[in-house]
Amino acid sequence: MKRLVAVLMLSATAGAWAQGASHPHGVPPGQAKKHAAAAAACDLCGTVQSVRKEMRKGEGGAAGIVAGAAAGGLLGNQIGKGDGRTLATVGGAVAGGFVGNEVQKRVTTKEMWVTRVKMKDGSVRSFEQEAKPAWTAGSPVRVDGKVLVARR
């Protein structure tokens, strides 16, 4: 009876050892894939180097140009007589259009948050977003497409 128990234990141990030896590093196939996926995902990980707020000039447009040109044309029309008045009106409209476009750019200025991240491979990347980020310098983050996600 004792021999039978010893033989059964020995064969079970040998079978388990042989099964483990067939997998790389003794890790079953399903687990090996999970470990490989986790390691690959970390290639998209990094550490925040800095977070700063910057102002981005907005875009000009037709509304600013038209409003500026109308105001400039009216002002230019008040100057001179005859051909001088026509030249002043056209000049005022052109200058007003330029100024109106610049005013519209300043009115539509946006506040952007720029985060610089040192990636696992040593490269440094910058990411912009309008909302204030939840992370600070030293925080671990992960790149998800074109945005950052806080890593826990």
| CATH code for the domain of 133 | 2.40.50
Answer yes or no: do 123 and 90 share one domain.
no
Range of the domain at 138: 45-56+111-152
In whole numbers, what is the pLDDT of the chain averaged over residues? 76
Answer yes or no: do 120 and 146 share one domain.
yes
Find the Cα–Cα–Cα–Cα dihedral 57, 59, 60, 61, rounded to 10°: -170
The mean pLDDT of 133-138, rounded to a whole number, is: 91
> What is the pLDDT, as a whole number, of residue 52?
94
- The answer to whether 50 and 115 are in contact (CB under 8 A) is yes
Answer yes or no: do 50 and 119 share one domain.
yes
Q: Tell me: pLDDT of 17 over 50.
A: no
Answer yes or no: do 71 and 101 share one domain.
yes
Quote the number of domains for the chain. 2
Q: Which two tokens stand for residue 151?
A: 């890593």
Cα dist. 45→1, 38, 41 in Å? 58, 11, 7
